[in-house]
Each structure stands twice: as structure tokens, then as C-alpha cells.
Amino acid sequence: MTSMTRKYIDCSTGQLHLRVAGDKQCGPTPLVCFHMSPYSGLCYNSFAPEMATDRLVVCPDTPGYGGSDALDSDSTMEGYAAVMVEMLDALELETVDLMGFHTGSFVAAAVAHLAPERVRKLVLPGIPYVAVEDRAARLEMFSKTRPYFTEEGYILKRWDMGLKAQGKQSDDQFLALFAESLRPGADGMNRGFAAVFKFDPDVVLPSLSHPVLIPIPDEMLAASSRKAAPLFQNATLQEWPDLSGDLFDVDAKTVAGRIREWLDA
């Protein structure tokens, strides 16, 4: 299996940390993977090597998460997308495929909207689509500081909630991702979530003419992904009831095979 390396690149907002597997000299289009909040590209440390057997795979940390510096201004999908285009320039990647999970699906859509000529196909499992009338309340909820120091037992509560959703994910991966989730700090953890509800998918998603694969594993955003699917001009929806929210860890080889088949068709 292909090994992963880590590197930093300089961009206009500081340094961006990313994990890379594979070789861009291989034939297929490189794949860039955007993670869910509040984690990092570590989410793909099982999937990326499986996918990189025949192509370059790049897994950046969203600004403000993992090892990446935060944006200078309020976090928005447009701001994240601008940094990711800088990353493509720094890596000399003219055309890429994009994949995003949860928050990462909107990062991918924002990149495709900002630089449509740089994107060939998108894979978007777990789209956090919320009806417009509910977004303001969600934004208010995620515009607050996490109460690490003001609510007794808050971190233990988060730990227990995570354990209930662990699935078949290994203890080591669960612990590593829990640690990653704490890195943005009390003020930074919610920025990616807030960016989701500042984003207008009803405008951006219909503007995308790229082929889009929307896998539907048995996970928390399955229903919202189905609601988002009709907004795209050229979407293929695939039901994956045999896979759950831990699909990139537990079923990395299976997921890589399914995504590879669609990307290479």
C-alpha cells in the first residue's frame, strides 16, 4: 500500500498543512480530499493510501484545523476555497478531482465554483444541506465559543458522544481524531461549522456543471444528501446502505474501489 507523506506550503493566510500519497505522474487525475470539521486530513489516513495506488491523493487540513493556520478573517467557504486554489498552484496541479465529507463537501463545491476549469469531477458523501429558514439558527449556535472551561464535564460529554458514534473505528484512530478536534481551541472549533451555514448551497450547487457522485452511506447526513442531490446539474446518487459513518477508516479499500470506478468511467 502507498505510504503518506506530510508537508507544509506557504499561502496568503500563513501555512497550509497537507498529507500526500501517490504520484502525480500517474495517469488518472489527482484527487483532493477535504475533511469534516473539526478534524483534519488525518481522517483519510486509511483511505488515501488505498486510493493512491494509481494516482496522486492530497488531503489538506482546512485553514484553522489540524496543522493549518486559520484564515485572517471570518471563516467562510469562499475563503477556504481561495486557499485551496493557492494549494493547487503551489503543487502545480492544473486539473483535479475533488472529494469532501460533511463540511468538506461544501469546501469542494466552493472550490469548483471559484475555479470551475480546475475541477473535473466531484465526489460528495455527507452533504450538510439545511433548508434556508433553518440556517440562521444553526449559524447562531455555531458562532459561540465552545464551553471547555465554563461547562463542567464538557470534554467528557464530547468524549462519551464520540464513543457512541465510534462504530468499528479503531481505538487509536478514534483517540487521534479526538485530539485533532481539540487543536482549533475553544474559539476555533466551530468556525468550519459556521462556514457551512454562511454558505448558500441553493445558489452554488446549481451553478456546477461538473459530474458529481453523491454516495449515501448509512450515516447522519444521508437524508440531507438526498435533499441536496436535485440541486446539481449532473449528479449521480448511489445508495451505500452496507457502509456507515466510519467508511473511510473501516471500509477504506471498498470505498476507494467504488470511487475509483466512478472517477475512471
Instruction: Report the first-to-last Cα separation within the chain, whole angstroms.
Output: 23
Quote the pTM value. 0.97
What is the sign, positive or negative, of the torsion defined by CA atoms of 66, 67, 73, 77?
A: negative
Containing structural domain, residue 181: 4-263
Residue 210, domain CATH:
3.40.50.1820
Cell of 81: 476555497
CB atoms near residue 258 (< 10 Å): 18
> What is the count of structural domains for the chain?
1
* pLDDT for position 72: 85
* pLDDT for position 158: 92
* pLDDT for position 25: 84
pLDDT tens digits, the chain, 265 residues: what are they?
678 999 999 999 999 999 999 998 878 999 999 999 999 999 999 999 999 999 999 999 999 999 999 998 889 999 999 999 999 999 999 999 999 999 999 999 999 999 999 999 999 999 999 999 999 999 999 998 999 999 999 999 999 999 988 889 999 999 999 999 999 999 999 999 999 999 999 999 999 999 999 999 999 999 999 999 999 999 999 999 999 999 999 999 999 999 999 999 9
Cell of 244: 456507515
> Alpha-carbon Rg of the chain, whole angstroms?
17
* pLDDT for position 1: 61
* pLDDT for position 14: 96
Tell me whether residue 140 is exposed, middle or buried, using C-beta atoms within 10 angstroms of its C-beta: 0 to 12, 13 to 18, 19 or more.
exposed
Tally the residues of the chain. Answer: 265
The phi, psi pair for 201, rounded to 5°, reads: -65, -25
Cell of 229: 442531490
**Residue listed under C-alpha cell 436535485:** 230
